A and B are shown apart, each in its own frame.
Chain A
Amino acid sequence: MKKRALLLAGILLFCGLSPAMAASYPSRSIQFLIGWDIGGGSDQAGRTLCAKAEKYLGQPFAIQNLPAGSGAKAYMAIAGAKPDGYTIGLTTSTISTLKPLGRIPVGSEDFEHVILFNSDPGGIWVHTDAPWKSLGEFLAYAKANPERVSVAASTPGSITRFQMMALEQEGGVRFRVLSQQGGAANGLTNLAGRHIDAAMGTPLEGYALYTAGKIRPLGFCSEERVPMMADVPTWKEQGIDVALSTARTVIAPKGTPKEVIDTLYEAFRKVVTDPEYSKSMEAKGSNVHALTPEETRQFLREQDARFAALIRNTGAK
């Protein structure tokens, strides 16, 4: 009798407590995992987001960098963490590419999504004195000279590499690829020094060289024109149906309670919709978004399909 009463009391207490527990989220610091090197573009984006969200959440973020495998280690760590909302992390497009490439067993469907807050469109740049005025002219020349036009892209598996492969596939051309470590900066520098014909890079990365009159963009592969350089057409406008951007999202382990996700979403949304923040992001050529968890999940599903198809068709490994 006593035992049963105790059990009943325990259950009641627990029921009484759990909404209280959920309501008091977050009650301690939240760990935020970033799968890239400290100081890199994704790290900066993540840290800025967390720093500003702290005041809306009332608890600090403990940021941890796990730079291994372009995010692989961080994704695995989040997948294996307790779904209590105290371990979340950052993703870039690699969440959609690592599984098809066979590097990790988890993909975007194995996580809860919080928000998509940032996207950087990619693009292709040529030297200011180059004879090609549009993407069409460039591709025509490349078709006439297979494997002679040198294009710089980042290491295999990176987004610029995929963007270039998509361009090759849609345009029916084959480039001579120069692989650059350390992001697009090296490639754009080489382009400015006239060592190569073209280079992949985001508007942000090429902007200073553009204002210096050394290089110019042939087009960006985003859905809409980039506000920073509104006179540059997109690839889609020029007949190449490719829109691949580096989209950054926040994820949580599968099974994280909906209330926790919503709390996090609210806080991040407030950060992102702050006019100062969005203005400074757009000045960097980044697009700011505040996609809800559902919209984020939908977006990532589409992104997964796009990348999977690309990897299959080009035989990338």
Chain B
Amino acid sequence: MPTLLAAFSDVIHPWMTGIIFFGTFVGILVGALPGLSATLGVAILLPVTYYLSPAEGLLLLLGIYTGGIYGGSIAAILLNIPGCPASLMTTLDGYPLSRRGEGGRAIGIATVSSFIGGTVGVLALIFISTLLARAALSFGPAEYALLAFFGLSAIVVVVAKSVLKGFISACIGLMLATVGMDPLVSVERFSYGNFDLLGGINYIPVVIGLFGLCEVFTQALETRQAAAVRQVVRRVFPSGDDLKTILRNSFHPCWIGTLIGALPGAGGSIASIISYNRAMASDTNPERFGTGITEGLVASETANNAAVGGAMVPLLTLGIPGSSVTAVLLGAMLMHNITPGPMLYVNNPHMVYVIFIGMVMANVAMLVLGIAGAKIFPRVVNLPRTALLPVIALLCIIGAYAMSSSYTDVVIMILSGLFGFMLKQLGIPAGPLILGLILGPIAESNFRGAMELSDGSLSIFIRSPLSCGILALTMLLLASPLIRRLIAKPNRPAKAERR
């Protein structure tokens, strides 16, 4: 108890709080700019932490991590570009809201949802981390492969008006994921001797092109007469009704986000898709999802911030970095002689408490900065179209170039933009493509690894209760549109016909 109080007073100290707020601010900025991610923020500020005390350095980076995931949703809502893959689902409901002029309200809802999800994630980290860690370890290659397929099926069912087109989109994404060096054997696939392609197609330029540049093209074609909807920013903090909806719909996203975030390598994107899908499945009017409703936004944002707390579980308890950001955090911790693992809790409980309280404080900082900024951010989008579109295009180019200083990425971004524009005309959704690109490597290398382990026997996929469970859920998921159609047919034949 005295250690807890000591840690508490350390964090509440103005200097420490200032560092946390600064880190969160940098995180939000970096997350909101397309092409940059929290990984960049933490990697660049890592050497700076050398001059700070271990607690200060770590909390600075944790602030960036927390802010980064949230910042991604701002770009998703205002520009339709997910700032990080976890914000992909936020574009579905966030962007329609901002197109209707309710960008401020959308950001307010996203901020509060992120706060709730993030705080619950930290609470899970504090109280049930050993349980979560044990659950995370029981995921082997077979389970990871099945989870990846589950995530893909989820987005196809959620996003696509036509499941057929959704699956074609997913196939394109999976195909793009195979470009580069084969993960198991030394064979080049589809890279034709190009160094940049050898490492595979990076998802960042594809996301920027597919969502951002494509949107630039689409809006450029809108006739000048179409009145640009101005953002109405009257009250940013969610109204009573909105708050009630948020609180009512946060429960499931919280535990889904925390659980899936605790799986190394899975993270926020799978968490937010499964959460969104669950919200849609349990809703009486699932067609509303994707048109700009609060429930959809809450489902996505709560889950991806809960995943932050979840991702810290394997890092703190087992020293396993689940993502590139946590890998940098691990490096920072080790640099400051903080060795994660169960010994940390025994040898250095003060540091552990500082991390816990600091993360809660980072969430508070995110809430404060987000609500404060929510009045300003949407105004940026109020620029006239002739000014806004070139700026977005500029952001797209710089974003595609920044991470790896490669013009190949810029070319990929441009091609994705044109391709995305074509897909839009043909009615093919872009979400499954991105997810195929992100989940493809996980699905393929784990599937092939599992087969290698099981001597070629497919039984490895039904050997553990966990894999059976995921398999059953996937099949249920894929069958759900059919089931829904069968149920709807006697009552509303016209609706079935429209498909």
Is A269 interfacial (CB-CB < 8 Å)? no
Is A99 interfacial (CB-CB < 8 Å)? no
Tell me if A176 and B453 are in contact (CB < 8 A): yes
- B211 → A minimal CB distance (Å): 22
- B194 → A minimal CB distance (Å): 9
Nearest B residue (CB) for A66: B405
Tell me if B43 and A284 are in contact (CB < 8 A): no
Chain B CB within 10 A, most for which of A181, A316, A317: A181
Inter-chain contacts of B307 with A (CB < 8 A): none
Among A39, A48, A183, A280, the residue within 8 A (CB) of B47 is A48
Tell me if B318 and A37 are in contact (CB < 8 A): no
B residues lining the A interface (CB < 8 Å): 39-40, 42-44, 46-48, 50, 136-141, 181, 183-186, 195-196, 198-199, 264-265, 314, 317-321, 324-325, 327-328, 331, 334-337, 339-343, 403-406, 441, 445, 448-449, 452-453
Tell me if B445 and A180 are in contact (CB < 8 A): yes
Tell me if B449 and A280 are in contact (CB < 8 A): no
Q: Report how far A64 CA is from B265 CA in the complex, Å.
A: 26
- A190 → B minimal CB distance (Å): 6
Nearest B residue (CB) for A70: B199
Closest 5 pairs between A and B when the two form their complex, measured CB to CB = A208-B319, A51-B47, A195-B140, A208-B341, A193-B137
User: Which A27-51 residues have a C-beta within 8 angstroms of B?
Assistant: 37-41, 43-44, 47-48, 50-51
Tell me if B453 and A212 are in contact (CB < 8 A): no
Inter-chain contacts of A207 with B (CB < 8 A): 319, 339, 341
Q: Report how far A185 CA is from B314 CA in the complex, Å.
A: 11
Q: List 18 A-B contacts (CB under 8 A).
A: A37-B324, A39-B327, A65-B404, A68-B196, A72-B198, A73-B406, A156-B184, A156-B186, A157-B181, A176-B452, A178-B141, A178-B449, A181-B441, A188-B320, A189-B320, A211-B341, A212-B317, A284-B331
Nearest A residue (CB) for B408: A68
Q: Report how far A76 CA is from B406 CA in the complex, Å.
A: 14
Is A169 interfacial (CB-CB < 8 Å)? no
Tell me if B264 and A186 are in contact (CB < 8 A): yes
Q: Flag A187-211 by CB within 8 Å of B: 1 or 0 each.
A: 0111011011000000011011111
Number of A-B contacts (CB under 8 A): 161
Inter-chain contacts of B138 with A (CB < 8 A): 193
Q: Report how far A200 CA is from B181 CA in the complex, Å.
A: 21
Tell me if A211 and B183 are in contact (CB < 8 A): no
From DSSP, what is the main secondary structure of chain A's interface residues? mixed
Known pairs A39-B42, A156-B186, A214-B318; A283 contacts B337 (CB<8 A): yes
Known pairs A190-B140, A195-B140; A181 contacts B183 (CB<8 A): yes
Tell me if B340 and A178 are in contact (CB < 8 A): no
Tell me if A67 and B404 are in contact (CB < 8 A): yes
Q: How many residues on the A side are at the interface (Cβ–Cβ under 8 A)?
A: 59
Inter-chain contacts of A128 with B (CB < 8 A): none
Inter-chain contacts of A317 with B (CB < 8 A): 186
- B176 → A minimal CB distance (Å): 16
Is A289 interfacial (CB-CB < 8 Å)? no
Tell me if B342 and A44 are in contact (CB < 8 A): no
- B336 → A minimal CB distance (Å): 7
Tell me if A40 and B318 are in contact (CB < 8 A): no
Inter-chain contacts of A196 with B (CB < 8 A): 453
Q: Report how far A233 CA is from B143 CA in the complex, Å.
A: 35
Inter-chain contacts of A44 with B (CB < 8 A): 43, 46, 328, 331
Q: Report how far A77 CA is from B39 CA in the complex, Å.
A: 24
Tell me if A209 and B341 are in contact (CB < 8 A): yes
Q: Report how far A213 CA is from B341 CA in the complex, Å.
A: 10
Is A292 interfacial (CB-CB < 8 Å)? no
Known pairs A179-B183, A209-B318, A283-B339; A73 contacts B137 (CB<8 A): no
Inter-chain contacts of A157 with B (CB < 8 A): 181, 186
Inter-chain contacts of B452 with A (CB < 8 A): 150, 176-178
Tell me if B141 and A190 are in contact (CB < 8 A): yes
Q: Flag A208-244 by CB within 8 Å of B: 1 or 0 each.
A: 1111111000000000000000000000000000000
Chain B CB within 10 A, most for which of A70, A72, A208: A208
Inter-chain contacts of B186 with A (CB < 8 A): 156-157, 316-317
